[in-house]
């Protein structure tokens, strides 16, 4: 039994290269270690295995400083999983494993620690054929951060990620809310088989567990696989996982994204810059975009501020007998006021200086007595300023 594989290099499978078929089985266990193994131009710095109607079990193993150079995938492990095959990796660690950039061939380089290409459809994935439990990752990295820890190439990335979550097929030590935490966006990624192309299109890779993001169904008012959904407007429907919000419901029912990921808008790989007007205010919603709600959390107001406005015609104002309130609306349909509550106006305090109701103030702040015509001519009334 070989327990240590150190400082090995090969074109593919720096430590172990294997093709397993016809019911064969590979077992790597009993604290086996792979240290500084490297694939020079192919997949799998520590282990490469093509598994067809067979099984691969890795248990209590460690991979340290293993790497693969582009166009290789999987700095620690690269596995090709055929139909009716089993992959089980449990209680194993990956330390400083990586894929390395190659200036002369910049294809692929996915999966800093683990790369898996599976032919099993998402509906058939379960813990009997894919199990990744009690893993730990430290300092692993991939070229362009495409799956620093794990990258999975499958028929449908969205559906595969969903199957892994629902079956709890992956657990990673030290993580918090693995399937929903946006901090792990680039650590666990995948790509649809149909979008692999030549391995250079970065945007075809998406987060494997992207359910924290708002997913918008496009092309159809009610896309296939999207009924019933939360309707945002007459032209768009939004679909969310129950970890997100759907019309402010944190656990929506029957609110699922379509299985076909081509019906989803891609997740931006760069920070989106929101359009602003000439005064620097954000324009929301952006032109030709779905009218998603805008939530702002953790706002700290350093100090209260006063605002004021002026009125050219204040003849209707009677501050001694009535009080006035203010509501704000962004769409002329919903009006909010105090604490953002709908239809709960903020009261306006009107301060009237002595004599202000009996004289008109011109632009130069001079006054003149009212005559009979002034009382019936609103156009001659002065500009009133009301601090709030």
- For residues 194 and 285, membership in a common domain is answered with no
Residue 379 CB burial class (10 angstroms; 0-12, 13-18, ≥19):
exposed
- pLDDT score of 306: 66
- For residues 13 and 151, membership in a common domain is answered with yes
Residue 130 lies in a domain: yes
Report the number of distinct structural domains present in the chain.
2
CA angle 156, 158, 164 (to 5 degrees): 100
Residue 316 lies in a domain: no
**Secondary structure class of 118 (helix, strand, coil):** strand
- For residues 59 and 205, membership in a common domain is answered with yes
Structure confidence by residue, pLDDT tens digits, 39-96? 999 999 999 999 999 999 999 999 999 999 999 999 999 999 999 999 999 999 999 9
What's the whole-number average pLDDT of the chain? 74
- For residues 60 and 92, membership in a common domain is answered with yes
- For residues 209 and 242, membership in a common domain is answered with no
- For residues 147 and 57, membership in a common domain is answered with yes
- For residues 253 and 129, membership in a common domain is answered with no
Which of 172, 188, 213 is the endpoint of a domain?
213
- For residues 152 and 206, membership in a common domain is answered with yes
Indicate if the pLDDT at residue 174 is higher than 70. Answer: yes
- For residues 114 and 77, membership in a common domain is answered with yes
Residue 342 lies in a domain: no
- pLDDT score of 353: 56
Of 183-192, 199-208, 327-336, 370-379, the poorest mean pLDDT is in 370-379
- For residues 36 and 60, membership in a common domain is answered with yes
- For residues 134 and 92, membership in a common domain is answered with yes
Residue 349 lies in a domain: no
Residue 96 lies in a domain: yes
Residue 346 lies in a domain: no
Residue 317 lies in a domain: no
- pLDDT score of 362: 40
Residue 123 lies in a domain: yes
- pLDDT score of 234: 34
Which of 266, 284, 301 is the endpoint of a domain?
301
Domain that holds residue 209: 4-213
Residue 179 CB burial class (10 angstroms; 0-12, 13-18, ≥19):
buried
- pLDDT score of 326: 77
- For residues 205 and 283, membership in a common domain is answered with no
- pLDDT score of 36: 96
Which of 164, 187, 213 is the endpoint of a domain?
213
Structure confidence by residue, pLDDT tens digits, 275-320? 777 776 667 666 655 555 555 555 565 566 666 666 666 667 776 6
- What is the spatial distance between Cα 63 and Cα 92, in angstroms, rounded to a whole number? 8
Is the C-alpha dihedral spanning 21, 113, 71, 196 positive or negative? positive
Q: Whose CA is closest to 191, among 207, 179, 171, 213?
A: 207
Indicate if the pLDDT at residue 367 is higher than 70. Answer: no
Indicate if the pLDDT at residue 355 is higher than 60. Answer: no
- Predicted structure pTM score: 0.58
- The residue behind tokens 């016809």 is 22
């Amino acid at each position: 039994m070989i327990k240590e594989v150190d400082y090995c290099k090969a074109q593919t499978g720096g430590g172990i290269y294997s093709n397993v078929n016809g019911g064969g089985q590979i077992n790597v266990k009993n604290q086996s270690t792979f240290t500084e193994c490297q694939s020079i131009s192919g997949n799998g710095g520590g282990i490469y295995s093509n598994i067809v109607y067979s099984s691969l079990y890795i248990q209590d193993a460690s991979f340290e400083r293993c790497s693969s150079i582009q166009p290789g995938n999987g700095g620690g492990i690269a596995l090709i999983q055929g139909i009716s095959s089993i992959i089980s990796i449990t209680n194993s660690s990956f330390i400083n494993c990586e894929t390395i950039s190659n200036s002369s061939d910049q294809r692929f380089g996915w999966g800093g620690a683990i790369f898996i290409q599976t032919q099993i459809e998402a509906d058939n994935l379960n813990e009997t054929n894919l199990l990744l439990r009690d893993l730990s990752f430290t300092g692993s990295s991939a070229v362009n951060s495409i799956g620093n820890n794990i990258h999975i190439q499958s028929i449908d990335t969205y559906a595969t990620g969903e199957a892994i979550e629902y079956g709890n097929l992956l657990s990673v030590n030290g993580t918090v809310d693995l399937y929903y935490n946006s901090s792990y966006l680039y650590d666990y990624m995948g790509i649809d088989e149909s979008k692999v192309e030549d391995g250079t299109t970065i945007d075809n890779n998406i987060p494997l567990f992207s359910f924290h993001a708002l997913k918008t169904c496009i092309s159809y008012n009610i896309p296939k696989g999207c009924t019933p959904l939360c309707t945002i407007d007459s032209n768009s429907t939004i679909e969310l996982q129950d970890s997100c919000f759907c019309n402010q419901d944190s656990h929506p029912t029957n609110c699922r994204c379509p299985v076909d990921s081509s019906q989803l808008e891609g997740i931006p790989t760069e920070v989106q810059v929101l359009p602003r007007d000439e005064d620097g205010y954000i324009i929301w919603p952006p032109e030709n975009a779905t009218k998603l709600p805008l939530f702002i959390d953790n706002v700290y107001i350093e100090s209260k501020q006063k605002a004021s406005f002026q009125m050219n015609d204040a003849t209707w104002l009677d501050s001694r007998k009535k009080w006035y309130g203010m509501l704000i609306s962004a769409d002329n349909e919903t009006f909010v006021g105090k604490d953002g509550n709908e239809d709960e106006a903020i009261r306006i305090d009107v301060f009237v200086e002595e004599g202000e109701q009996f004289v008109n103030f011109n632009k130069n702040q001079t006054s003149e007595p009212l005559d009979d015509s002034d009382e019936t001519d609103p156009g001659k009334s002065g500009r009133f300023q009301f601090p709030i």
